[in-house]
Structure 1
Amino acid sequence: MKVSIYDVANLAGVSISTVSRVLNKSGYTSSKTEKKVMDAVEKLNFTPSSIAQNLANNETKLIGLYFPFQTPSIEGTSNTYLLEFINGVNKLLIKYGYHLLLINETATKEQIQGNECPPQYYSFIKQKKIDGLILGGTPLICDAFLELLQLKMPMVYIGEKTVDHIGLNVYAKYKQYNKDLLDHFTSHHHKHIAIISTEEKIIKSVTHEYSAANKELLQIDVHHHTGSLEAYIQLLSQIFSNGDKPTALLVQDISIVQQTINYLNNLQLKVPHDVSIATIEHRYGDGEQCFPAVTSVYVPAFQMGMEAASLLFRYLQDAIEFNQEVLIDSTITDRKSVIHRNHLTQEEVI
């Protein structure tokens, strides 16, 4: 028969509330009373309910993790990012004795942005079903999200700071590392660059800023891809079917880089001699798995997850104010998939 807290109280000759105070260390009890309770616990081999203890402490020991809408076309890179990020978060959760709760979404992106209904994470944190929340990607801006910021709820999000002087966020400097990749191409004298991205709006703002700041005559084409592999092949066909072909290609989704190389090979276009390619990796070394190996900017998803969890726990412990941003540096690993235009050596270009 299962032993309950009532049995412990009866054997120790104290009230249930006294047993609760001793087990949860939530109030004063004399050393004599504490010994009587612990002796009863040991004699009955009583195991306290973690749920009951958490309720007594007004805690759930749960951290919610929510990923804003993932584009269907990026299953490979998305899975890599998700797994690395989750592992980073979980490393800190284990340290602090918390558990992870993945929160899914039933509403559409349009419904949330139009404030027709709040995102699923809203009720979880408002109703205190979780102790804290991590948004594993750039959040959709909506009334519910902004309300949580204004209330200074324990929430950390990934991406550029949304509201000045408020909020906890981890930012991997998306705009900067894309500009770094463009710099890598232009430093190798490429004047016509194509970008295949799933983030159409933000990447266009990046290329606009880059072109405006760059005094050289550049052509940067942005292609938005969110479809199937078949749709992606059709997109590549459009890009490389006319006479004015790009000499450099930034494929942001590393999971479709090898298919890109294979398609170019079928067109008798070799990487890097005819087309230079670069990509983004969230697990270091993934670019090495392509043939040929592909130059990549490494955006460390594992570190991002750890930093997000660390921010959240420091806030829960009242160690920081609700206005902290952690910036993550990204580095380019040159694997020689980007070479000088027209196969010229540096001396010949000069």
Structure 2
Amino acid sequence: MKSVTYFMVLHRIRRNKMPVTINDIAKEAGVSRATVSRVLNDSGYVKYETRQKVLKAIKELNYTPSAIARSLSTKKTNTIGVIVPEINDPFFGEVIKGISEVADEYNLNIILFNTDDNVEKELKALELLKEQRIQGIIITPTFTEDELNSEYLKTLENFGIPIILIDGHVKYTSFSGVFIDHIKGAYDGTEALIKAGHKKIAIINGHMKSRPAKERFIGYKKALSMYNIPLEERYIFYGEYKYENAYNITNEILKMKDPPTAIFVSSNMMILGCIKALYENKINVPKDIAIIGFDKLEVLNIIGMNISFINGPTLELGRTGMKMLIDSLNDKKKKEIRRVILLPEIVLKGSEKYVEKNRCE
């Protein structure tokens, strides 16, 4: 027979909304804590009748399992970590959306970290995720190939959980990942400008310590070489993927004695800076100068600016990365390294055109 004290506690739980514990459920159902734990975690054998008693007690007490407590008992959570270098960049917004769509299908939660391209923030995020007992990580590394050090490698390799790279290579490691063919994208964009009639083509690229920037520069050079157009150092600029830098560089380009007739801009954020400078200087696109950007920028469609661009499959990048992580979680014994390369597409909207008597000629 249950004690008077127990009924007093039960009354306080129901009336005052006190936190319900496994002990409370065990007493209500007349079973041990271990039995309640087995029912909650769906582990071990429990008689049908006993299970029904426990479930009835859970319902009557309106018990909600603690995710933290469950992770302590199972040594894992239903959560994955996602680390990106620039959450304000529409590129990563689309990637995260793709990850989230697939995660929802598999009832997985996401803990998201933004590193602001800061190495220390990334290392801190990795350590915090380790404490959260997550199942796996999807990451676009801030660390570049040239800056890689033993501390970073040790942090990644000691996790003991699946890690999937999203469009960011980590040298000397063997992680699976999904990437965009940046060489093809930059080649196609530069070639489109050449086919439109341009021979003086500038590039505003990212920082050359990053793999995407290196590959986009290769694509740019390859296209010029294929059409026997000399590579001119004066038309090569580095905007570090920053809006402000691209704005300043574009103003520099417009002041050149022999400026280019077209600009290939290597990221969506830099396209915004470029367009701002052109607008302030009352430069018409493509009448005065032509441009093509890498990555889609939805805001340009909204305001009716027909800017040609290389469409990196960002949504698919996130979806594919998440599916790769799920495959790794479902088959932890399989150590096969997978590298998926997604092809970008060029979308021409007129800004690449060459206009006779171009302002820059």
Pairwise TM-score range, normalised by the shorter structure? 0.7 to 0.9
For 2:342, the aligned partner's letter is I
Q: What does residue 91 of structure 1 align with?
A: 101
Distance in 2 (CA, whole Å) between partners of 1:118 and 1:228 is: 19
CA contact (8 A) 1:21 1:27 kept: yes
For 2:58, the aligned partner's letter is V
Q: What does residue 186 of structure 1 align with?
A: 194
CA contact (8 A) 2:71 2:133 kept: no
Q: What does residue 345 of structure 2 align with?
A: 331
How far residue 300 of structure 1 moved from its aligned partner, in angstroms, is: 2.6
How far residue 120 of structure 1 moved from its aligned partner, in angstroms, is: 1.8
Distance in 2 (CA, whole Å) between partners of 1:197 and 1:272 is: 20
Distance in 2 (CA, whole Å) between partners of 1:172 and 1:240 is: 31
| Structure 2 SS opposite 1:65 | strand
Q: Does 1:175 align with 2:179?
A: no
Tell me the TM-score normalized by structure 2. Answer: 0.78
How far residue 258 of structure 1 moved from its aligned partner, in angstroms, is: 5.7
How far residue 299 of structure 1 moved from its aligned partner, in angstroms, is: 1.3
Distance in 2 (CA, whole Å) between partners of 1:153 and 1:8 is: 34
CA contact (8 A) 1:279 1:295 kept: yes
Q: Does 1:123 align with 2:123?
A: no
Q: How does 1:1-350 map to 2 (within 5 A)?
A: 1=13, 2=18, 3-68=20-85, 70=86, 78-105=88-115, 108-109=118-119, 119-127=123-131, 129-136=133-140, 139-140=143-144, 141-147=148-154, 148-149=156-157, 153-159=161-167, 161-162=169-170, 166-201=174-209, 202=211, 203=213, 206-207=216-217, 210-211=220-221, 213-214=225-226, 216-220=228-232, 221-226=235-240, 232-255=246-269, 257=271, 260-261=274-275, 263-264=277-278, 269-282=283-296, 285-289=298-302, 292-318=305-331, 321-340=335-354, 342=356
How far residue 35 of structure 1 moved from its aligned partner, in angstroms, is: 2.5
CA contact (8 A) 2:311 2:344 kept: yes
CA RMSD of aligned residues (A): 3.3
How far residue 227 of structure 1 moved from its aligned partner, in angstroms, is: 9.1
Which ranges of structure 1 fall in alignment gaps of 5 or more residues? 345-350
For 2:153, the aligned partner's letter is L
Residues 1:194 and 1:10: Cα distance change in structure 2 (over 3 Å): same
CA contact (8 A) 2:79 2:110 kept: yes
More off after superposition, 226-235 vs 31-40 = 226-235
Q: Report how many residues are paired.
A: 330
Residues 1:153 and 1:341: Cα distance change in structure 2 (over 3 Å): farther
Distance in 2 (CA, whole Å) between partners of 1:342 and 1:237 is: 23
For 2:105, the aligned partner's letter is K
For 1:243, the aligned partner's letter is K
Q: What does residue 348 of structure 1 align with?
A: none
More off after superposition, 21-30 vs 200-209 = 200-209
CA contact (8 A) 1:125 1:131 kept: no
Distance in 2 (CA, whole Å) between partners of 1:265 and 1:105 is: 32
Q: What does residue 4 of structure 2 align with?
A: none
Tell me the TM-score normalized by structure 1. Answer: 0.80
